[in-house]
Structures are given as C-alpha cells and as structure tokens.
Structure 1
Amino acid sequence: MDFQPDSGLEAFRQEVRQFLQTKVPADLKGLPRSTRSRCEEVMRWQKVLNAQSWGAPYWAKEHGGTGWSVPQILVFDEECGAAGTPSQDPFAQKLLGPVMNAFASPEQKAEHMPAIFNGQRLWCQGFSEPGSGSDLASLKTRAELVKSVDGDHYVVNGQKIWTSYAHESDWIFLLVRTNPEVKKQAGISFLLVDMKTPGITVRPIRSIDDAHHLNEVFFDDVRVPVKNLVGAEGQGWNITKFLLNNEHATTADLPVQKRYMQQLRQLATTQRMGGDRLIERPEFALKLARLDAELQALGMFVQRVAKMEQEHNPASHVLGSMLKIRGTELQQKISEAMVEALGDYGAVAYPDPHEDLDPAQPLLPLQEVARSMANNMFFHRASTIYGGTSEVQRSIIAKMLFHL
C-alpha cells in the first residue's frame, strides 16, 4: 500500500472542519465519547450528517454512502473526535450496515436503511451467550420455524449476554440456531428482531467501570416474521465471519487513541513529580515516545487492513485479527499511562462520564480529565476480551496463515 501523503487530503480535512464549525450545533460538540453516545445525541448527530449527505461515511456510494477513501474516513473520524461530536450508532454503521449491503433483500433494505440514515432506529448486537462467548458457534438460542395462516414466523427462545446498549436500542440483529442436527456452524441463521416484540426481557449489567451499557437479554417464545431472516437459513455463520472482520478493524478506535495521546502529552508537560515535569523524567519520556511510535504504526496498520478489505483481499481477515490484538492492547497501555500521569487524581473513582456532576461538590483540579480516564481504563480492561479474545485471535491467525 502507498503511504505517501495525498495532496487532496488537506483540502478534505478543511472541508470537514468547516462543516463542524458552521453546521454542527454547539451543544453537539465537546462531548465525552464512548462506544455509543446518548441516544438523543446519536439521533440528532445522524440527522445532521444525513442533511450533509454524510449519513454513512463508511459505505460505498452504491449503497448510499459517501464513497470516501480510507484516508478520508480516518480524517473524518479524527476531526469529529477532536471536535467532540457524538458517535454514530457503531452497530448500525460499521457492523449491520455492511451486512445489509452485502446480504439483505431489497425489501429488507427498504425497511431498515432509511431509518438508519435518518437517525430513527438504534441497533444492538445479540451474539454472545452464557457459555458461548469465544466459542460463538456453540450458541444455543433456538429459532423454530412455524407455518401459520397469519404468516410464517420463527419462535425464538434463549438468552444473550453482554449485549451493549440493548436497553436503549430499537432493534437487535441476532444469531440463532435454526438447525441443531448439522455441524454447529452450519445450523446458525441471522435474524433482525424488533426489541418491542412481546417476550423480550432486558436486564442491566453494571460493568467494572460502574456504567450501565451491558445487558442480559432473554427471549421467551418471541415471534419473528420470516421476512426478518437475512440471507438463507444456515448462512448465519458466513455472515458472522464477514461482520466480525469489520468489527476487528474498528476496535483499534484510532481517533479516540489519538485524542488520549494528545491529553497524555499535555499532562506530561503540566504534571510534576518531585519538582520535575513528567516529560523531563527520562523513564516517562521514553514511555511516551514508545506509545507514540506504536500509535503511528497502528495508524498505518488500520489503513492497510481497511484498504485490503475494500479490495476483498482474503489476507485482510488475518490482518484484521492482528489489528484487533495490537489495537486493543495499545488502548490498555495508553489508558493506564493516563491514569499514571494523573497521579493521585487517577486513583479517585469518579461517576460515569455521561452523568452530571453534583453542583454542590466543588470541581477539583484535573477532575474533568480524571473522571473520564479512570472509567476508560477500567472499560478498556475488557477490550482484549470483547469481539473475540486475544487468545482466540491468535488461534485464528495461526490457522489462517497455515492455509494461505
């Protein structure tokens, strides 16, 4: 891949900045960023982007997207991260959207894609189950086909766990077992389910960062119309492999990591230890330089994987797993360095970054930084687990390299 600077990229960056300065409401900037922002912020931001014809920055033009190049997408993400805009719905934009573009029927696209573009429908992902996390193909949630005079449908029974934002989502894309008699990968199908369907129960899980973004979801005789099956019965595992490769490529979260590094550099020049600024202490300066070098290498890695994926190069699947490992491990290193640089403030447990501060409590120095970084450090402890553990990714790499 050619990593020479694109002469037109700076003009594109200025176009994005101009849009952010002139067309984005002030209350949608300078916000804390997480996997998914508050629902109302996500929906408003999606409407703003759609009005600019930027409603799907990551999709090809033939699917209604911007058709941007990989470097343009990275610039867009960087500038939005620097401006503190809300996130888009990552499940719709980066996971379900590509699946729908590749596998959905015209009727399914007509029903669901306009709602994604217009910010009217938020999604969650129903994959992991108790006992079926890393070994996803062993999932047990059943979907039995029932033929009826009022319309053929599936009856879904089972449980999903670690379902991010299920309590705030309108729909869920769901892996179910439609045939228990065949090889486990061959009996899986991919369903779209309205979260308001009777029989669905959502229970919260408080994670180590003391936030509520995870849930258990229970399905008790949930009726799902056959028209909500994406692809054919038994095609779910192939669809899943396609989706998970996209997920691996996004877990590097490059714009967020760049923002963390910027904050870390600021702390290094302002925080003192033993009378010296942190940047003046050789051990911390060396750590900062190493993290910066790793981040620059990761940036090139992200471009390479995304470009290969666009070209349908099978080696992108191996590199996607490598990127997942390197990106998530770097997330942990940078967030740990941030907490270390905060000193005593890094040891204080602050509320969730989305929660309002108590006006009766005076703001302490560095509290605004510390309250997000302490939570982020805890959250990123899970980054080497979700989306397939690092151990699973290494097994995938070994197997796929053997067959290349």
Structure 2
Amino acid sequence: MDFRPDPGLDAFRQEVRHFLKERLPADLRVTPTFSRSKPQAVSRWQKILHAHGWGAPYWSQAHGGTGWTMQQILVFDEESVAAGAPTLDGMMHKLLGPVLNAFATPEQKAAHLPAFFNGERLWCQGFSEPGSGSDLASLRTRAELKHDEQGDHYIVNGQKIWTSHGHESDWIFLLVRTDASARKQAGITFLLADMKTPGITVRPIRSIDDAHHLNETFLDNVRVPVANRVGEEGQGWAITKFLLNNEHATTADLPMLKHYLRQLHELAETPCMGGVCLRERPEFALKLARLEAEVTAVGMFVQRVAALEMAHSPLAHPMGSMLKVRATELQQRITEAHVEALGDHGAVAYPHPAESAGDAPGSATCEPLPLQGLARGLANEMFFRRASTIYGGTSEVQRSIIAKLLFGL
C-alpha cells in the first residue's frame, strides 16, 4: 500500500490543533493515560465533539461519523492525547458502535446511538469470565428465554470479570450462552443490558498499578428483554469475531505509544548523574533510536491493517493479530525504558496525576523530589502495561491465530 502522507494532512492537523486550543476547556485537560477519563469529563467532551460534527471520529459518514481517513484519525488521536483531551468511551466508539452499525435493528440504533452521540450513556464490556478469558468460547454465563405477560425476555445468570469501568458505566454489552447443547461457539448470543437492572452487582478489583478501573460483575436472575439482543440467537460468536478485529487496532494504542516516546525524549534531555544527559550516553541513545523506529513501524502497521479491513481482506484477521502482538510488547518495553531512565527514582511508584489522593495511597503526602514531575505516573503505566499482552486476547492466542490462518498449522 502507499504510505506517503496525504498532501492535505498538515492542514488537517492545524485544524485539529486549532479546535483543541479553542474548544477544549482548561478544566477538562488531563495527563494522558491508558484509562478512560472520569464519566463527567467523557460526557462533556463528547457533547462538545458532537456539536462540532466530530462526535464519531472513527465512523463512516453513512453511520453519522466524520468519514475521516485512517491517517486523519491517527492525527486526531495523536493531537488529542498531546493536548490532554479526555479519553473517549472507546467501548462505544471502537467496539460496540461498529457492531451496532453492522448488526443492530433500526429500533436498537434509535435507542442507543443518540444517547451515545450526546454523551449521555457510557458502556462497558462483559466478555471475560473466571476460567474463560483467552478461551472466550468456553464462557458459562447462561441466558434462558422466558415468555410472560411482560413480554419475551432472557433470564441471565453468571459472572464476568475484568469489566473495565463497569462501576461507572450505564450499560453493558455481554456474551451469554443460550444453547448448552450446541458446540461452544454456536451457542453464544450477544446482549445489551442496563447496568441498573436488578440482579447486577459490580465489585471493584484494584490492579497492580493501584488504580480502580477493573471490576468483577455478577448477574443474578437479570432480566434482559429480547429486544436487547443484537443479531439472532446463536450469532454472538460471529459478531464477536467482527468486534475483536476492531479491538486489535485499538489495543495497539498508537497515540499513547507516541506520547510515551515524547516522554522518553524528555527524560533523555534531563541532566542526571554528573550533570550528563541520558541522550549523551551511547547505550541509551541506541535504545531510544530503536524504540522510535518501532513506534514508526507500528504506525505503518496500523494503517495497513485498517486498509485490509476496509477491503474485507481475509488477511485482516491474522495481520491484526500480528499488530496486537507487536504493539503491546512495544508498550511494555517502552514503559520499562521510562522506569530505567529514572534511575533511583524509578523504584518509587509516584502516584498518577489522574488518581485522586483518596484513590492513590500516599499521594497526599509524597514529598517533592528531583525528577518527580517527570516521574509521576510512569511506574503506574509500566505496571498496567504488564497486562497489555493479555487483554484483548493473549499473545499466545494471537500467535496461534497467525499460525493457523497464515501457515495452516
């Protein structure tokens, strides 16, 4: 494919920068992080984007989106991260939204898309279960079809885990087993449920980065109307494969990779032992150059996978798996380089600016130290990125997909 930049891309970048400068409120600017911003910030920023006509930057014009090219999308994401814009609801923008556009009924779109565009509804994902993570098709959450005077509905019982932002989401999209007698992929159905439905309980999980963005979700006789089923009963696995193809490019997280690289350059210019900058040390300069080359390569890879998906190429799936492996392993190495570059300061998990004093133990009493401004949050990011090669399908699973689809192994 042609990787030469669009001649109009510089003008588009300036347009995005001007918009962010003029329309991004100062109180919404945040330190870039992997995690979704607080609900109020997400909702406010979504409304501002929608009023400007940019409410769905990743979607085609036919679905109410901007219709931007992949290069324009990457510019928008990169400039948003650099400006400190709140992170959007990626669950809807990049995962559920494309599913609704492709599989939902007109009534379902009317019920959910306006609330999304207006920033009135945030979503979480109910896929993984205890014992059913990488082998997602082995999920055990059951949904039984019932008929009564209130209409057709499913009664859902089971447990989901690693529910990102489940404690601050309004709705959940989840996979359930509706036919225990069918082969495991064939008996799965895709449902949408209001998180306020009686029987849904969310309990927090604090992760290794000491943040609360993960949860376990319990479903006890939860009533879900049949009208909230996306696609046909038993079509859930086909819909999930469609969704996971979109997730591969999302987990690559190219804008954050570029942000990490900028942070590493900043550390490289900071005088350390003996007043010598890290950039002047040959071994560090070599590591920085290699990481920069790899970030550039991942950027080209993202565009290639997107082009394959737009062309409905069968190569999109295995190449998406390759992208997921390369990008997430790079996330781990570049955040490790941050902590190593901090030297002695890398041994301290300075609280992330996005975490309040109540959420981050010690954040209210941490004494100012040299390099603390640069160090804040770097260890948290490094800890969190230990999970990058697990969520969205482990690296082992991705390599199995590559071996099967590309080499027939």
Do the structures match in fold with TM over 0.5? yes
Q: What is the CA deviation profile of residues 55-85 of structure 1, one whole-angstrom value per residue up to 9, with x for unaligned ones?
A: 0000000000000000000000010011010
Query: 2:360 maps to what in 1?
Result: none
Within the alignment, does 1:401 sit opposite 2:382 as a pair?
Answer: no
Q: Are the counterparts in 1 of residues 126 and 173 from structure 2 also a CA contact under 8 Å? A: yes
Query: Where does 1:3-402 land on structure 2 (aligned, <5 Å)?
Result: 3-356=3-356, 361-402=366-407
> In structure 2, how many angstroms separate the alpha carbons of the residues matched to 1:297 and 1:360?
41
Give the Cα–Cα distance (whole angstroms) in 2 for the partners of residues 151 and 378 of structure 1. 47
* CA deviations over 1:109-152 (Å, ceiling 9, x no partner): 00000111110000000000010000000000000000112111
Q: Counterpart of 1:223 in 2: which secondary structure?
A: strand
Aligned partners of 1:206, 1:360: CA distance in 2, in Å? Answer: 21
| Residues 29 and 85 in structure 2, CA contact (< 8 A), matched pair in contact too | yes
- What is the rounded CA distance, in whole Å, between the counterparts of 1:314 and 1:232 in structure 2? 24
3-state SS of 2:185 partner: helix
| Structure 1 range deviating more: 78-87 or 269-278 | 269-278
User: Structure 1: 5+ residue runs without aligned partners?
Assistant: none
Report deviation, 1:244.
Answer: 0.6
Scaled by the length of structure 1, what TM-score is found?
Answer: 0.97
Q: Matches of 1:365 and 1:98 in 2, distance apart?
A: 46
AA partner of residue 389 (structure 1): T
Letter in structure 1 aligned against 2:34: S
Amino acid aligned to 1:136: L
Please say if residues 271 and 341 of structure 1, whose CA atoms lie closer than 8 Å, have aligned partners that are also in contact.
no
Q: Distance in 2 between matches of 1:244 and 1:384?
A: 15
Distance across 1 between alignment mates of 2:57 and 2:330: 25
Separation in structure 2 between the aligned mates of residue 292 and residue 6 of structure 1, nearest angstrom: 22
Root mean square deviation, CA, Å = 1.4
* Partner amino acid, structure 2, of 1:85: A
Partner SS, residue 269 of structure 2: helix
Measured against aligned partners, the alpha-carbon deviations of 1:281-332 in whole angstroms (never above 9, x if no partner) come to 1111110111011111111001111121122112111110000000000000
**CA apart distance, 1:349:** 2.0
Percent identity (aligned): 71
**Would you identify which runs of 4 or more consecutive aligned residues in structure 1 move more than 6 Å?**
none
Aligned residue pair count? 404
CA contact (8 A) 1:321 1:393 kept: yes
- Given that 1:203 and 1:217 are in contact with CA atoms closer than 8 Å, whether structure 2 keeps it comes out as yes
Q: Is the CA contact 2:35–2:213 (under 8 Å) kept in the aligned structure 1?
A: no
Partner deviation per Cα, 1:329-357 (whole Å, 9 max, x = no partner)? 00001000011111122111233432245
CA distance, structure 2, for counterparts of residue 403 and residue 70 of structure 1:
30
- Distance in 1 (CA, whole Å) between partners of 2:265 and 2:350 is 22
Q: What per-residue deviation string (whole Å, max 9, x for no partner) do you get for residues 73-118 of structure 1? A: 0000010011010011010100000000000000000000011111
3-state SS of the aligned residue for 2:376? helix
Task: Report the 3-state secondary structure (helix = DSSP H, G, I; strand = E; otherwise coil) of the residue aligned with 2:203.
Answer: strand
Tell me, in whole angstroms, the C-alpha distance in 2 between the residues paired with 1:264 and 1:31.
Answer: 15
Give the Å deviation of 1:369.
Answer: 2.8
Query: What's the secondary structure of 1:6's corresponding residue?
Result: coil
The answer to whether the Cα contact below 8 Å between 1:35 and 1:90 also exists between their aligned partners in 2 is no
Q: Aligned equivalents of 1:61 and 1:145: distance in 2?
A: 37
C-alpha distance in 1 between matches for 2:292 and 2:268: 13
2:209 & 2:364 partners in 1: Cα distance?
22
Deviation by residue 1:244-291 (Cα, 9 ceiling, x = unmatched):
111111111111111111110111121423543211111111101110
Which AA in structure 2 matches 1:116? Answer: F
In 2, the alpha carbon distance for the partners of 1:95 and 1:369 equals: 33
What does the per-residue CA deviation read over 1:206-226, in whole Å, with 9 as the maximum and x for residues that have no partner? 111011111110000000000
* SS of corresponding position for 1:7: coil
- How far apart in 1 are the matches of 2:55 and 2:90? 12
Counterpart-to-counterpart distance in 1, 2:247 and 2:174? 15
Give the match's secondary structure for 2:252: coil
Q: Deviations over 1:19-70 (max 9, x none)?
A: 0111221122243332311111111110110011100000000000000000
Contact 2:260 2:334 in 1 (8 A): yes
Question: Would the aligned equivalents of 1:171 and 1:192 in 2 still touch at CA under 8 Å?
Answer: yes
More deviation, 309-318/9-18:
309-318
Q: Distance in 2 between matches of 1:68 and 1:114?
A: 20
Q: CA deviation at 1:360?
A: 5.9
- Whole-Å Cα distance in 2 between the matches of residues 94 and 157 of structure 1? 27
TM value normalised by structure 2: 0.96
Structure 2 CA distance for partners of 1:111 and 1:370, relative to 1, 3 Å: same
